[in-house]
Amino acid sequence: MSIDLFPIDYLDKDCKENKMPAAEGKVWDARYKDPNIPHNTAYYLKCVGGGTLACGLTHAAMCPIDVVKCNIQVYPEQYKGLIQGLKLLISTEGTGSAGMWKGWLPTLLGYSAQGCFKFGLYEFFKDFYGNLAGEENYKKYEGMIWLAGSASAEFFADIALCPMEMVKVRVQVSPKGEFPTQFGAALAAMNADRAKYNFPFGSVVPLWSRQIPYTMAKFFFFEKVVRLFYSKVFTKPKEEYSKATQLSITFASGYIAGVVCAIVSHPADTLVSQAGKAKNAGKGFGQIASEFGYSNLLTKGLGTRIIMIGTLTGLQWWIYDSYKVAMGLGSSGGGAAKK
Protein backbone atom coordinates (compact mmCIF):
# COMPACT_ATOMS: atom_id res chain seq x y z
CA MET A 1 0.00 0.00 0.00
CA SER A 2 1.36 3.41 -0.93
CA ILE A 3 1.96 5.86 1.89
CA ASP A 4 3.08 8.79 -0.25
CA LEU A 5 2.34 11.89 1.76
CA PHE A 6 1.42 14.56 -0.79
CA PRO A 7 -1.20 14.63 -3.57
CA ILE A 8 0.34 13.98 -6.98
CA ASP A 9 -2.63 14.48 -9.27
CA TYR A 10 -0.79 17.23 -11.09
CA LEU A 11 2.29 15.10 -11.79
CA ASP A 12 2.86 13.38 -15.10
CA LYS A 13 3.86 9.74 -15.60
CA ASP A 14 7.60 10.31 -15.11
CA CYS A 15 6.98 12.20 -11.87
CA LYS A 16 4.76 9.40 -10.55
CA GLU A 17 7.70 7.08 -11.11
CA ASN A 18 9.68 9.27 -8.66
CA LYS A 19 11.87 11.03 -11.19
CA MET A 20 11.03 14.75 -11.16
CA PRO A 21 8.13 17.19 -11.36
CA ALA A 22 5.91 17.38 -14.36
CA ALA A 23 6.41 19.75 -17.26
CA GLU A 24 6.73 23.50 -16.86
CA GLY A 25 3.57 25.26 -15.82
CA LYS A 26 2.56 22.62 -13.31
CA VAL A 27 2.31 23.16 -9.56
CA TRP A 28 5.64 23.58 -7.73
CA ASP A 29 6.48 20.78 -5.26
CA ALA A 30 9.03 21.19 -2.46
CA ARG A 31 9.84 17.48 -2.67
CA TYR A 32 11.48 17.97 -6.04
CA LYS A 33 13.71 21.00 -5.38
CA ASP A 34 16.62 18.72 -6.25
CA PRO A 35 15.36 16.71 -9.26
CA ASN A 36 18.17 14.19 -8.76
CA ILE A 37 16.99 13.23 -5.25
CA PRO A 38 13.17 13.25 -5.04
CA HIS A 39 11.77 13.29 -1.52
CA ASN A 40 9.54 10.25 -1.89
CA THR A 41 8.58 7.67 0.71
CA ALA A 42 11.88 5.80 0.24
CA TYR A 43 13.79 9.03 0.92
CA TYR A 44 11.95 9.70 4.18
CA LEU A 45 12.47 6.11 5.36
CA LYS A 46 16.20 6.38 4.70
CA CYS A 47 16.27 9.60 6.74
CA VAL A 48 14.49 7.73 9.55
CA GLY A 49 17.28 5.16 9.53
CA GLY A 50 19.99 7.81 9.56
CA GLY A 51 18.34 9.66 12.44
CA THR A 52 17.97 6.47 14.47
CA LEU A 53 21.69 5.74 14.19
CA ALA A 54 22.79 9.35 14.66
CA CYS A 55 20.93 9.99 17.92
CA GLY A 56 21.07 6.53 19.48
CA LEU A 57 24.79 5.90 18.99
CA THR A 58 25.99 9.39 19.95
CA HIS A 59 23.95 9.68 23.14
CA ALA A 60 25.00 6.18 24.23
CA ALA A 61 28.67 7.00 23.55
CA MET A 62 28.41 10.17 25.65
CA CYS A 63 26.85 8.32 28.61
CA PRO A 64 29.71 8.91 31.14
CA ILE A 65 29.67 12.66 30.47
CA ASP A 66 25.88 12.62 30.70
CA VAL A 67 26.02 10.90 34.10
CA VAL A 68 28.38 13.57 35.41
CA LYS A 69 26.35 16.39 33.86
CA CYS A 70 23.13 15.13 35.48
CA ASN A 71 24.82 14.83 38.86
CA ILE A 72 26.29 18.34 38.61
CA GLN A 73 22.73 19.57 38.04
CA VAL A 74 21.29 17.55 40.91
CA TYR A 75 24.15 17.45 43.46
CA PRO A 76 26.21 20.62 42.78
CA GLU A 77 27.64 20.49 46.29
CA GLN A 78 29.41 17.20 45.43
CA TYR A 79 29.96 17.39 41.67
CA LYS A 80 31.87 20.59 40.87
CA GLY A 81 32.87 20.02 37.26
CA LEU A 82 33.49 17.48 34.52
CA ILE A 83 36.95 16.19 35.48
CA GLN A 84 36.33 16.26 39.23
CA GLY A 85 32.92 14.69 38.66
CA LEU A 86 34.33 11.85 36.57
CA LYS A 87 36.96 11.12 39.23
CA LEU A 88 34.34 11.16 41.98
CA LEU A 89 31.98 8.94 40.00
CA ILE A 90 34.69 6.37 39.21
CA SER A 91 36.01 6.34 42.79
CA THR A 92 32.57 5.84 44.35
CA GLU A 93 30.69 3.77 41.75
CA GLY A 94 33.30 2.32 39.39
CA THR A 95 33.68 2.23 35.62
CA GLY A 96 31.07 -0.39 34.72
CA SER A 97 27.37 -0.35 33.88
CA ALA A 98 26.56 0.38 37.54
CA GLY A 99 28.96 3.35 37.58
CA MET A 100 30.10 5.71 34.85
CA TRP A 101 28.10 3.80 32.19
CA LYS A 102 24.88 3.49 34.16
CA GLY A 103 21.82 4.24 32.09
CA TRP A 104 23.47 3.47 28.76
CA LEU A 105 20.76 1.06 27.56
CA PRO A 106 17.70 3.29 28.16
CA THR A 107 19.79 6.07 26.62
CA LEU A 108 20.42 4.00 23.49
CA LEU A 109 16.78 2.89 23.21
CA GLY A 110 15.22 6.25 24.01
CA TYR A 111 17.39 8.38 21.77
CA SER A 112 17.21 5.90 18.90
CA ALA A 113 13.43 6.31 19.02
CA GLN A 114 13.79 10.05 19.31
CA GLY A 115 16.20 10.27 16.38
CA CYS A 116 13.89 8.23 14.20
CA PHE A 117 11.16 10.86 14.54
CA LYS A 118 13.44 13.90 14.86
CA PHE A 119 15.25 13.52 11.54
CA GLY A 120 12.64 11.61 9.56
CA LEU A 121 9.76 13.91 10.44
CA TYR A 122 11.92 17.02 10.02
CA GLU A 123 12.49 16.11 6.38
CA PHE A 124 8.78 15.41 5.96
CA PHE A 125 7.50 18.53 7.71
CA LYS A 126 10.03 20.74 5.92
CA ASP A 127 8.53 19.63 2.59
CA PHE A 128 4.98 19.70 3.94
CA TYR A 129 5.22 23.30 5.16
CA GLY A 130 7.13 24.23 2.02
CA ASN A 131 4.22 23.08 -0.13
CA LEU A 132 1.74 24.95 2.09
CA ALA A 133 3.81 28.11 1.68
CA GLY A 134 4.35 27.80 -2.08
CA GLU A 135 7.49 28.41 -4.07
CA GLU A 136 7.78 32.17 -3.59
CA ASN A 137 7.15 32.11 0.17
CA TYR A 138 9.36 29.04 0.58
CA LYS A 139 12.34 30.97 -0.74
CA LYS A 140 11.41 34.08 1.21
CA TYR A 141 10.73 32.40 4.55
CA GLU A 142 12.93 29.31 4.37
CA GLY A 143 14.24 29.86 7.91
CA MET A 144 10.71 29.90 9.31
CA ILE A 145 9.99 26.62 7.52
CA TRP A 146 13.08 25.04 9.12
CA LEU A 147 11.89 26.22 12.54
CA ALA A 148 8.32 24.99 12.03
CA GLY A 149 9.49 21.65 10.63
CA SER A 150 11.95 20.97 13.44
CA ALA A 151 9.48 21.99 16.17
CA SER A 152 6.77 19.73 14.72
CA ALA A 153 9.17 16.80 14.43
CA GLU A 154 10.47 17.19 17.97
CA PHE A 155 6.96 17.28 19.43
CA PHE A 156 6.47 13.67 18.37
CA ALA A 157 10.10 12.69 18.99
CA ASP A 158 9.85 13.64 22.68
CA ILE A 159 6.78 11.48 23.19
CA ALA A 160 8.82 8.55 21.87
CA LEU A 161 11.79 9.50 24.06
CA CYS A 162 10.03 10.28 27.36
CA PRO A 163 9.67 6.81 29.01
CA MET A 164 13.32 5.85 28.49
CA GLU A 165 14.52 9.34 29.43
CA MET A 166 12.72 9.04 32.76
CA VAL A 167 14.32 5.66 33.42
CA LYS A 168 17.75 6.96 32.37
CA VAL A 169 17.66 10.01 34.62
CA ARG A 170 16.41 8.04 37.63
CA VAL A 171 19.21 5.50 37.20
CA GLN A 172 21.89 8.15 36.69
CA VAL A 173 21.10 10.44 39.62
CA SER A 174 20.06 7.93 42.29
CA PRO A 175 22.78 7.40 44.92
CA LYS A 176 24.42 3.99 44.89
CA GLY A 177 22.15 1.29 46.29
CA GLU A 178 18.98 3.41 46.37
CA PHE A 179 17.60 2.46 42.94
CA PRO A 180 18.34 -0.38 40.48
CA THR A 181 21.00 0.39 37.88
CA GLN A 182 20.19 -2.51 35.55
CA PHE A 183 17.70 -1.58 32.87
CA GLY A 184 15.16 -4.35 33.40
CA ALA A 185 14.97 -3.87 37.15
CA ALA A 186 14.84 -0.07 36.84
CA LEU A 187 12.04 -0.19 34.28
CA ALA A 188 10.09 -2.66 36.42
CA ALA A 189 10.50 -0.48 39.53
CA MET A 190 9.20 2.64 37.77
CA ASN A 191 6.37 0.77 36.11
CA ALA A 192 5.31 -0.78 39.43
CA ASP A 193 4.93 2.66 41.06
CA ARG A 194 3.72 4.81 38.18
CA ALA A 195 1.96 7.35 40.39
CA LYS A 196 5.07 8.08 42.44
CA TYR A 197 7.32 8.54 39.41
CA ASN A 198 4.67 9.99 37.04
CA PHE A 199 5.77 7.27 34.65
CA PRO A 200 5.85 6.94 31.64
CA PHE A 201 5.05 10.46 30.35
CA GLY A 202 5.44 12.63 33.44
CA SER A 203 8.50 14.43 32.03
CA VAL A 204 7.13 15.09 28.55
CA VAL A 205 6.28 18.77 29.23
CA PRO A 206 9.79 19.71 30.47
CA LEU A 207 11.16 17.55 27.65
CA TRP A 208 9.20 19.66 25.18
CA SER A 209 10.51 22.76 26.97
CA ARG A 210 14.07 21.50 26.62
CA GLN A 211 14.05 19.64 23.34
CA ILE A 212 11.83 21.76 21.09
CA PRO A 213 13.94 24.94 21.49
CA TYR A 214 17.07 22.75 21.31
CA THR A 215 15.97 21.09 18.08
CA MET A 216 14.80 24.35 16.50
CA ALA A 217 18.22 25.84 17.20
CA LYS A 218 19.95 22.63 16.11
CA PHE A 219 18.36 22.50 12.68
CA PHE A 220 18.09 26.24 12.04
CA PHE A 221 21.69 27.06 12.90
CA PHE A 222 23.01 23.94 11.18
CA GLU A 223 21.19 24.87 7.98
CA LYS A 224 22.48 28.45 8.24
CA VAL A 225 26.07 27.58 9.10
CA VAL A 226 26.49 24.85 6.48
CA ARG A 227 25.22 27.26 3.82
CA LEU A 228 27.63 29.94 5.04
CA PHE A 229 30.52 27.49 4.78
CA TYR A 230 29.63 26.69 1.18
CA SER A 231 29.00 30.30 0.20
CA LYS A 232 31.82 32.08 2.07
CA VAL A 233 34.61 29.54 2.70
CA PHE A 234 34.24 26.58 0.36
CA THR A 235 33.02 28.49 -2.66
CA LYS A 236 33.48 25.94 -5.44
CA PRO A 237 30.50 23.75 -6.41
CA LYS A 238 29.97 21.22 -3.63
CA GLU A 239 30.49 18.20 -5.86
CA GLU A 240 34.06 19.35 -6.52
CA TYR A 241 34.96 18.70 -2.90
CA SER A 242 35.67 15.19 -1.66
CA LYS A 243 33.12 13.40 0.47
CA ALA A 244 35.56 13.61 3.40
CA THR A 245 35.67 17.41 3.05
CA GLN A 246 31.89 17.65 2.77
CA LEU A 247 31.45 15.56 5.91
CA SER A 248 34.04 17.65 7.77
CA ILE A 249 31.98 20.74 6.89
CA THR A 250 28.91 18.90 8.18
CA PHE A 251 30.63 18.11 11.50
CA ALA A 252 31.89 21.68 12.00
CA SER A 253 28.44 23.11 11.22
CA GLY A 254 26.82 20.65 13.62
CA TYR A 255 29.29 21.45 16.40
CA ILE A 256 28.65 25.20 16.13
CA ALA A 257 24.90 24.58 16.12
CA GLY A 258 25.29 22.32 19.15
CA VAL A 259 26.90 25.04 21.27
CA VAL A 260 23.90 27.28 20.62
CA CYS A 261 21.55 24.39 21.39
CA ALA A 262 23.19 23.69 24.74
CA ILE A 263 22.78 27.28 25.93
CA VAL A 264 19.18 27.59 24.73
CA SER A 265 17.92 24.36 26.28
CA HIS A 266 20.02 24.14 29.46
CA PRO A 267 17.48 25.40 32.08
CA ALA A 268 14.87 22.84 31.01
CA ASP A 269 17.52 20.11 30.91
CA THR A 270 18.50 20.90 34.50
CA LEU A 271 14.84 20.71 35.50
CA VAL A 272 14.51 17.23 33.93
CA SER A 273 17.59 16.10 35.87
CA GLN A 274 16.27 17.59 39.12
CA ALA A 275 13.00 15.71 38.64
CA GLY A 276 14.97 12.46 38.82
CA LYS A 277 16.26 13.26 42.31
CA ALA A 278 14.69 11.01 44.94
CA LYS A 279 13.53 13.82 47.23
CA ASN A 280 11.78 15.53 44.29
CA ALA A 281 9.55 12.56 43.44
CA GLY A 282 5.95 13.74 43.08
CA LYS A 283 6.80 17.48 43.16
CA GLY A 284 5.66 19.85 40.43
CA PHE A 285 8.26 21.38 38.15
CA GLY A 286 7.49 24.90 39.38
CA GLN A 287 8.19 23.85 42.96
CA ILE A 288 11.41 22.09 41.95
CA ALA A 289 12.63 25.16 40.06
CA SER A 290 11.81 27.47 42.96
CA GLU A 291 13.60 25.30 45.52
CA PHE A 292 16.69 24.76 43.36
CA GLY A 293 16.96 28.41 42.32
CA TYR A 294 16.46 29.92 38.89
CA SER A 295 20.07 31.05 38.58
CA ASN A 296 21.18 27.46 39.25
CA LEU A 297 18.88 26.26 36.48
CA LEU A 298 20.75 28.55 34.08
CA THR A 299 24.31 27.80 35.15
CA LYS A 300 24.82 24.46 36.90
CA GLY A 301 26.51 22.02 34.54
CA LEU A 302 26.40 24.41 31.56
CA GLY A 303 30.09 24.13 30.69
CA THR A 304 29.96 20.34 30.76
CA ARG A 305 26.76 20.38 28.71
CA ILE A 306 28.30 22.67 26.06
CA ILE A 307 31.17 20.19 25.63
CA MET A 308 28.75 17.28 25.56
CA ILE A 309 26.10 18.78 23.26
CA GLY A 310 28.56 20.45 20.90
CA THR A 311 30.41 17.19 20.33
CA LEU A 312 27.23 15.15 20.27
CA THR A 313 25.45 17.42 17.78
CA GLY A 314 28.46 17.57 15.48
CA LEU A 315 28.73 13.78 15.52
CA GLN A 316 24.98 13.38 14.96
CA TRP A 317 25.07 15.47 11.81
CA TRP A 318 28.24 13.67 10.66
CA ILE A 319 26.65 10.23 11.13
CA TYR A 320 23.37 11.38 9.57
CA ASP A 321 25.09 12.85 6.51
CA SER A 322 27.46 9.87 6.22
CA TYR A 323 24.43 7.59 6.17
CA LYS A 324 22.72 9.77 3.57
CA VAL A 325 25.84 9.74 1.38
CA ALA A 326 26.04 5.94 1.67
CA MET A 327 22.37 5.73 0.65
CA GLY A 328 22.97 7.95 -2.39
CA LEU A 329 21.16 10.98 -0.96
CA GLY A 330 24.14 13.35 -0.83
CA SER A 331 25.38 15.54 2.04
CA SER A 332 23.65 18.63 3.42
CA GLY A 333 24.05 22.17 2.16
CA GLY A 334 25.59 23.61 -0.96
CA GLY A 335 22.52 23.38 -3.17
CA ALA A 336 21.42 20.62 -5.53
CA ALA A 337 24.13 18.50 -7.03
CA LYS A 338 24.64 18.59 -10.77
CA LYS A 339 23.94 15.57 -12.89
DSSP symbols for 136-194: HHHHHTHHHHHHHHHHHHHHHHHHHHHHHHHHHHHHHHSPTTSS--SHHHHHHHHHHTH
- How many angstroms separate the CA atoms of 313 and 228, rounded? 18
Q: Write the pLDDT tens digit of every residue in 108-129.
A: 999 999 999 999 999 999 999 9
pLDDT tens-digit readout, 54-105: 999 999 999 999 999 889 888 988 999 889 999 999 999 999 998 999 999 9
Domain chopping of the chain, boundaries: 35-326
DSSP state of 76: T
Q: Which fold has domain 35-326?
A: Mitochondrial carrier fold (1.50.40)
Walk along the chain (339 residues) and give the pLDDT tens digit of each residue: 434 444 434 333 444 444 444 445 578 999 998 888 999 999 999 999 999 999 999 999 999 999 998 898 889 889 998 899 999 999 999 999 989 999 999 999 999 999 999 999 999 999 999 999 999 999 999 999 999 999 999 999 999 999 999 999 999 989 888 999 999 999 999 999 999 999 999 999 989 988 898 899 999 999 999 999 999 999 999 989 999 999 999 999 999 999 988 888 888 888 878 887 778 887 888 888 888 888 888 888 888 889 888 999 999 999 999 999 999 998 988 654 444
For residue 25, what pLDDT is reported? Answer: 53
